Structure 1
């Protein structure tokens, strides 16, 4: 069960939705029982929703929204609460802070030996979750669905600036199958055509700053009105760091790493070469 502190943002949002419902219901001249009869629900359920202690299902949320004339505003709030609660279940506790930071970030700088989550195809993500399932468990399809939903940060009207440095091994290590890898590399090449998405490759023959051999994944996040944050993950654990002294170490690492990587054009050519030569039987050319 997540700590109470971690649930505060969701509780606050649920409480806000409840207060809005109460105001809308009263403005419509309805008692709790009258509103409950329209849905239909029990009066106690309506009371719990107004107190922020109950979160309605998608269908019920829309019915309540329609009944009080909220024009989708309440349904949208409850959607965010439900999705947040689902993520608490789908992701380990150390990732919860990152998911919130990712959603509000204006720039993300990534480094790992796997393609980052928001740039993954369904098949690539599913292969990763299937491989991890014996250790971590959980519903694979729910995890895939949620990961695909997170791609909204690349597709919104003002998309995040997303810069990824990939260890060269990410291009060749087979995740799922050669066909899955071909589709993933094709997707990365398509994303790289967008002005705010960049992939750069750290070649095998280049070292990492500080003699680091492997550090898992790191992501540096810039957010409006907040200090830069860094998220690191090694598979079995991770953390979101916001203390300037801690973030500074990872910022220095990333800045030095950028001196070793291939420029964007050469990186794109290596992505294409890996797809055509190493995953030769794919059908996405």
Structure 2
């Protein structure tokens, strides 16, 4: 794309490089896709060839993709792309899903995981907060989450953090496309070992249903129908055991009050 824009502007690689300034070899590398300019340099190149922000925006997305690939395990990369494409996501886990987390809740999770997995906490946090945009776009994803009841009571970070997270969840359920349902303690867990970690079923336009699972050091995005079918059956059986949306909302509200009581004692 840069090559076409440069030629349309009547510039050679050397002439364009002199305007930035960058070496001709660097310009050639960017045109071949072997080099990605920094944000300021990318904007200078964009201005020089009259791309009206198109090149700068493209490189911004490329840098974000590279950042995500560096921050997260390889088996999560496919999910991040699928999440952006999804029109419906069905989730189950023992913690609130990433796109519904407050900043403090997410930070507490990353901080607790840092001794085992390392990585830059603030960079991971930035990516996670940006992922929440799938709930805020003009045509937001339908997001249905089944949470084990333990997610409401296990303290992530502090009672204050939990109060804020539960308050955020109560605000989210006011949206027509977001639903939380709770699997209570007194119900069985269908699927046994399948239920360990997180399970997400994703519907995407023009593609087969996919499932993403993760647990500890492992995870995968599955698209083979026979494999997806196992997790679809698990989720459908799980759906029979959970509380209604109304009862789940009341339980979230009750849990928030209990965390709040701990906050006010100190």
TM-score (norm 1): 0.90
Which of 223, 230, 241 is the aligned partner of 2:204? 223
Map 1:213-252; keep pairs closer than 5 Å.
Answer: 214-252=195-233
1:13 corresponds in structure 2 to none
Q: Which residue of 2 aligns with 1:266?
A: 247
Partner of residue 172 from structure 2, selected from 184, 191, 211:
191
CA RMSD of aligned residues (A): 1.3
Equivalent in the alignment of 2:161: 180
Structure 1 residue 212: Cα displacement: 5.0
Q: Is the 8 A contact 2:93 2:198 kept in 1?
A: yes
Gapped regions of structure 2 (runs ≥ 5): none
TM-score with structure 2 setting the length: 0.96
**Structure 1, unaligned runs of 5 or more:** 1-19
For residue 87 of structure 1, the aligned residue among 61, 68, 85 is 68
Deviation at 1:178, TM superposition (A): 0.4
Corresponding residue SS for 2:199: strand
Out of 143, 146, 169, the residue aligned to residue 162 of structure 1 is 143
Question: Helix, strand or coil: the match of 1:157?
Answer: coil
Q: Cα offset for 1:214? A: 4.3
Match of 2:31 among 45, 50, 53: 50
In structure 2, the residue matched to 1:275 is 256
2:90 alignment partner, SS class: strand
Which of 8, 12, 17 in structure 2 is aligned with 1:36? 17
Residue 107 of structure 1 aligns with which residue?
88
Identify the residue that residue 143 of structure 1 maps to in structure 2: 124
- Aligned-pair CA distance for 1:280: 2.0
Separation in structure 1 between the aligned mates of residue 199 and residue 152 of structure 2, nearest angstrom = 18
